[in-house]
């Protein structure tokens, strides 16, 4: 079966399934494989549960009108996504960066859907599987698709661009994330810049933070760019008024008061504003969209629970985002500030140094209490309280209660699942 023929089947339902526990009727089931699963084993089950086709790459069942054998099921999914992208009318905006991708994606989506029929990456399904699935969620009436792209090594963003073929793109920043895969900060810059490389090579539109020297230098001679700045008048001017605790900014003599904490969310708001301006969304609608956006999924959430005021930022962490969160928490005018920091992952040979640096900064800022959690933080040289495991922390907190009316910052990598602290409190 050719990709064109497969696409004609897809257009009958616009439904894709990759998990037999969540089969959609008349969908196309792709038998994907991973370290701990093999979708080929469930092809016949997918058909019996209502899938129209099962795309497999292992000859485990007789091939028939419903079971299609291909060389590589994942590659076929990616080819189908690219074919669909080429044959739909929607414009594609791609977003990548070390920090703030998902928040920026959600903000842009919130702004653009004021006037356009839009779709966006669900959650953080931003990899070699998630990007194709996002593209295949584009419907006939979709006008703009906002596609988040994640990467932990070089050439990954370039590959995702070859599938999504974006018309527009924005890089949030270049930080110390996935250092192990990228081979250091220079590798991060090279890897994330693959989005700009694709856009400039194909004469597509670039959105940029003109106050970021890396972005500014890389795009200095490129014409098709639209950016924001606090100082440079040749770009759209947006001023940060406050971030204590929520980001408040000034645009064209209008004040926008977001529900996002931390100075690090200023540029995320700016990206949504200039994208809205580029697509001719009136400023009052942009203001309404940003002021109405409330973060969730453990991303800089403000939670009040049992007398505590909690900043829950436990979705992800790397050295750059950790430092930004610590500086922001230090600047917030609250008494009795308590800090919970969990290990940062995928830092490779830099792990010991980066964890020690964060521990040193946390100690210098002189919070009322600091708790470090995880094997990496446990190995740091510090007088701060540290725990090798979450269970050790849990035992300690049951015997040593955090004082009521404290303000808490909880931050760590996703694998640490520090939102569990809420239950302990």
Are 157 and 283 contained in the same domain? yes
Q: What is the CATH number of the domain that holds 373?
A: 3.90.190.20
Distance CA 67, CA 64 (A): 5
- pLDDT at position 177 is 79
- CATH number, residue 31: 3.40.1390.10
Whether the predicted pLDDT of 222 surpasses 80: yes
Is residue 139 in some structural domain? yes
User: How many whole angstroms separate alpha carbon 393 and alpha carbon 420?
Assistant: 11
Position 362 confidence tier, pLDDT thresholds 50, 70, 90: very high
123 within domain boundaries: yes
pLDDT, tens digit, 9 for 90 and up, residues 24-58: 899 999 999 988 889 999 999 999 999 999 999 99
SS3 call for 239: strand
Say if residue 63's pLDDT is above 90.
no
Overall average pLDDT of the 163-188 stretch: 90
pTM: 0.88
Cα separation of 295 and 277, whole Å? Answer: 22
What is the model's pLDDT at position 96?
96
Overall average pLDDT of the 327-354 stretch: 92
CA 154 to chain centre: 17
pLDDT in tens, 7-16: 999 999 999 9
Average pLDDT over the chain, rounded to an integer? 93
pLDDT > 70: what percent of the chain?
100
Q: Please report the pLDDT score of residue 181 as a whole number.
A: 82
Digit-coded pLDDT (tens) for 277-291: 999 999 999 999 999
Mean pLDDT value of segment 163-191: 90
Do residues 212 and 347 share a domain?
A: no
Q: Are 76 and 93 contacting, i.e. CB atoms less than 8 angstroms apart?
A: no
pLDDT over 80 at 299, yes or no: no
d(CA 122, CA 125) in angstroms, rounded, equals: 6
pLDDT bin (cut points 50, 70, 90) of residue 300 is confident
Rounded mean pLDDT, 403-420: 93
254-272 pLDDT, tens digit per residue, is 999 999 988 889 999 999 9
Among the candidates 49, 74, 99, a domain finishes at 74
CATH number at residue 212: 3.40.1190.10
What total number of domains does the chain contain? 3
The strand pairing partners of 43, in sequence order, are: none
Q: How confident is the model at residue 306 (pLDDT cuts 50, 70, 90)?
A: confident
Identify whether 336 is part of a domain: yes
Using the predicted structure, report yes or no on whether residue 123 has a pLDDT greater than 90.
no
> What average pLDDT score do residues 236-253 get?
93
In a domain, 29, yes or no: yes
Same-domain pairing of 62 and 123: no
Does the pLDDT of residue 366 top 80, yes or no? no
Picking from 361, 331, 360, 357, the residue whose alpha carbon sits closest to that of residue 344 is 357
pLDDT of 124? 79
Range(s) of the domain holding residue 200: 88-224+270-292
376-399 pLDDT, tens digit each: 999 999 999 999 999 999 999 999
| Together in a domain, 143 and 30 | no
Same domain, 100 and 133: yes
Sheet of strand 239-243: strand arrangement: 239-243, 246-251, 254-261
- Select from 122, 209, 188, 129 the least CA-distant residue to 346: 188
Instruction: State in Å, rounded, how far the first CA of the chain is from the last one.
Output: 57
Q: What are phi and psi of 325, to 5 degrees?
A: -65, -40
């Amino acid at each position: 079966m050719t990709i064109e023929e497969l696409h004609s089947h897809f257009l009958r339902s616009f439904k894709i399934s990759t998990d037999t526990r969540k089969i959609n009727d008349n969908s196309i089931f792709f038998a994907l494989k991973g370290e701990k699963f093999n979708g080929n084993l469930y092809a016949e089950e997918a058909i019996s549960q209502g899938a129209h086709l099962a795309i497999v790459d292992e000859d485990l069942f007789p091939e028939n009108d419903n079971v299609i054998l291909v060389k590589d099921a994942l590659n076929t999914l990616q080819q189908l996504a690219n074919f669909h992208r080429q044959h739909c009318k929607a414009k594609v905006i791609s977003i990548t960066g070390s920090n703030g991708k998902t928040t920026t994606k959600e903000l842009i989506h919130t702004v653009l859907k004021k006037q356009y029929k839009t779709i966006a990456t669900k959650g953080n399904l931003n990899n070699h599987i998630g990007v194709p699935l996002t593209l295949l969620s584009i419907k006939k009436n979709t006008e703009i698709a906002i596609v988040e792209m994640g990467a932990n090594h070089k050439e990954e963003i370039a590959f995702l661009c070859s599938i999504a073929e974006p018309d527009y793109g924005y890089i949030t920043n270049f930080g110390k994330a996935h250092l192990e895969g990228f081979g250091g900060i220079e590798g991060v810059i090279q890897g994330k810049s693959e989005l700009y490389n694709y856009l400039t090579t194909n004469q597509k539109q670039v959105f940029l933070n003109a106050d970021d020297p890396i972005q500014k230098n890389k795009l200095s001679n490129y014409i098709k760019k639209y950016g924001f700045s606090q100082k440079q008048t040749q770009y759209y001017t947006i001023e940060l008024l406050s971030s204590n605790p929520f980001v408040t900014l000034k645009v064209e003599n209008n004040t926008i008061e977001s529900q996002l904490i931390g100075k690090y969310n200023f540029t995320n708001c700016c990206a949504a504003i200039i994208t809205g301006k580029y697509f001719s969304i009136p400023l009052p609608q942009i203001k309404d969209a940003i002021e109405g956006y409330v973060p969730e999924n453990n991303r800089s959430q403000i939670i009040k629970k049992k007398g505590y005021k909690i900043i829950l930022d436990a979705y992800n962490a790397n050295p750059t985002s950790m430092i930004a969160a610590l500086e922001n928490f230090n600047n917030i005018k609250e008494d009795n500030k308590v800090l919970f920091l969990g290990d940062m992952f995928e830092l490779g040979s830099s792990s010991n140094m980066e964890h020690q640096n964060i521990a040193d900064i946390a100690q210098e800022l002189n919070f009322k209490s600091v708790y470090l959690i995880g094997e990496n933080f446990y190995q740091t040289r510090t007088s701060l309280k540290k725990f090798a495991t979450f269970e050790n922390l849990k035992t300690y907190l049951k015997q040593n209660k955090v004082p009521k009316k404290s303000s808490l910052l909880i931050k760590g990598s996703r694998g640490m699942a520090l939102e569990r602290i809420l239950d302990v409190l």
